[in-house]
Amino acid sequence: MTTEARIEWCRALLARLVRFTGRTLRGEWHAIVVEPLRRFTRRGLSGLLLACVAAFGVIFFHAIAQHPLGALWVTRLGGVRAELPLWLSLLRTPVSLYVPALDLPVWAGITQLFLAFAWAELALGRARTLAISYATTLAGTLTARVMIALGPGWCGFGLPHQYAEVLDTGPSAAVVGLFTYLSVVKRAPVVFTLTGGSMVWESIAVPNLAGREHLIAVASAIVLGLLHGRRARLRGLLRAVPLSLLPVRDRGPAPTEPPAVPVPAPASAPSRTVPVPASAERSRAGSQERSQDTAMTSLEC
C-alpha cells in the first residue's frame, strides 16, 4: 500500500469515527435532555414527584439527625449494619435510602439525587423508578453481608469482619443504579462512562464498604438494563413456535366409553278407517247412475 493510499484510508477512518461520534452524542443528548424536557412540559410538576419526595426526605432526616435524640431515632428507623439480623436490615432498607451518609456532604448528594430520580421518573415512570432504586440498593446491601461473612481473602472479594459495624445508609447506591440503568436502556455511553468510571475510581482510591456496594449497584443495574425489553421478545418467540414442536404431555390411554344401548323405535299406531257419511254415499251413487244413463243414450243414438 502506497503512502497516498494510507493517507486516504486514515482520512476515511477518521471521517467515519467523527460521524459515529456525532450520531452517538446527538442521540444521547436527545435521550437525556430533549425527551425528559418534552415529558416534563406535558406532565408538569407532577412528573417530579419522586425527585421532590426523595430530596425532601434526605433533608428531613439530615435535620433530625443534628440532635442526639433525633440521631438515635434515625438510626433505629434507617440504620443498616451487617451485624443486624437479616429481617431487621430488610425492614430498615427502604428508610435507609433517605438517611444521608455521615462521611459525605449532604447538599452535594441532594443535587445528584434529584437529577437521578427526576430523569428516571420522566423516562421510566414512578413504579419502575422505585423498583430499580430499591433493587440496586438491596443488591449492594446483601452482597456486602456476603463479603463480610466470607472474611478477608477469597481473591479480594471478602471483607474483614470489622465492616459489620459500619453504618450502611444513604441514597448513593440508588443514584448510581438509576444513572447506570438509564444509560444502558437509553444507550448513553457518556453517562455510563462517567458513572461507572467514577465508581471504579472511588473503589480503588478509597477501598471501603461504600465503594464495594456502588460497584455491586452498577453491576446489578447493567444486568437489569440488558434484560429490559426482553420479556416481550420472549413472548413473541414463544408464540412463533409451532404447536407441533412443543412437548405433549402423555396423559395415558383415553377412557373407554360404555357401549351404546340400542333404543327401540316407537311402534307405529294402527291405521283407522274413517267411516264415510251416508249423504256422501248417496251422492256418489247418484253420480254413477247419471254417468251410466249418459253412456246408454250415446249408444242408442
Q: pLDDT per residue over 97-142, tens digit each?
A: 888 776 666 676 788 888 889 988 988 888 999 999 999 999 988 9
pLDDT averaged over the chain? 76
Q: Which domain holds residue 157?
A: 47-228
Distance CA 176, CA 210 (A): 12
- Determine the straight-line distance between the first and last CA of the chain, rounded to whole angstroms: 138
User: Nearest Cα to 60, choosing from 165, 286, 68, 52?
Assistant: 52
Question: What is the CB-side half-sphere exposure of residue 36 using CA atoms within 13 A?
Answer: 21
Distance CA 127, CA 120 (A): 10
Q: Are 172 and 104 in contact (CB under 8 A)?
A: yes
Residue 254 has what pLDDT?
52
Instruction: Give domain status of residue 292, yes or no.
Output: no
Distance CA 198, CA 204 (A): 10
Angle, helices 86-96/68-78, rounded to nearest 10 degrees: 120
Instruction: Give domain status of residue 2, yes or no.
Output: no
**What is the sign, positive or negative, of the torsion defined by CA atoms of 239, 240, 243, 249?**
negative
The number of folded domains in the chain is: 1
User: Which cell numbers hold the place of 13?
Assistant: 477512518
pTM: 0.71
Instruction: Give domain status of residue 82, yes or no.
Output: yes
Q: What is the CA radius of gyration of the chain?
A: 44
Instruction: Give domain status of residue 123, yes or no.
Output: yes
Q: CATH number, domain at 119?
A: 1.20.1540.10
Instruction: Give domain status of residue 287, yes or no.
Output: no
Instruction: Give domain status of residue 20, yes or no.
Output: no
Element (H, E) at 281: helix 278-300
Residues of the chain with pLDDT under 70: 1, 102-106, 108, 154, 156, 229-301
